[in-house]
Amino acid sequence: GQNIDQPTEMTATEGAIVQINCTYQTSGFNGLFWYQQHAGEAPTFLSYNVLDGLEEKGRFSSFLSRSKGYSYLLLKELQMKDSASYLCAVHPSNYQLIWGAGTKLIIKP
């Protein structure tokens, strides 16, 4: 079957760094997405990794290892507004995405 695993919840402190992991087992792989979703709102696109390595975009970076079926989202200089759920999604072989259940990130002052 196809499966994506993420931690259910994480807590971090304002100003710190947090890493949210995602492991996947899918029948194919064309890319991996990270989305941010604030409570009661729609998901918004953060990053897209196709090749192995680290992609940096401001305070957010995303890493991919295709051989290990592993990705992480790194958030630096955490702000209170980063409190949200972070969704990992894999594009296996067609236009559909396989979604993880999401990681709820709680930021404390």
Partner 1 sequence: DVKVTQSSRYLVKRTGEKVFLECVQDMDHENMFWYRQDPGLGLRLIYFSYDVKMKEKGDIPEGYSVSREKKERFSLILESASTNQTSMYLCASSVAEYEQYFGPGTRLTVT
The token pair at 31 is 């890319």
Least distance from C-beta 70 to partner 1, angstroms?
A: 18
Binding site residues, partner 1, CB under 8 A? 4, 8, 30-31, 33, 41-45, 48, 87, 89, 91, 94-97, 99-102
What radius of gyration, in Å, describes the C-alpha atoms of the chain?
13
> Which is closer to partner 1, CB of 13 or CB of 44?
44
Least distance from C-beta 14 to partner 1, angstroms?
A: 26
Least distance from C-beta 89 to partner 1, angstroms?
A: 8
> Which is closer to partner 1, CB of 33 or CB of 63?
33
Least distance from C-beta 48 to partner 1, angstroms?
A: 6
> Which is closer to partner 1, CB of 74 or CB of 97?
97
Could you tell me the CA-to-CA distances from 47 to 25, 56, 109 in Å, in that order? Answer: 20, 9, 26
> Which is closer to partner 1, CB of 64 or CB of 78?
64
Exposure string over 81-107, b if 16+ CB within 10 A, otherwise e:
ebbbbbbbbbbeeeeebbebebbbbeb
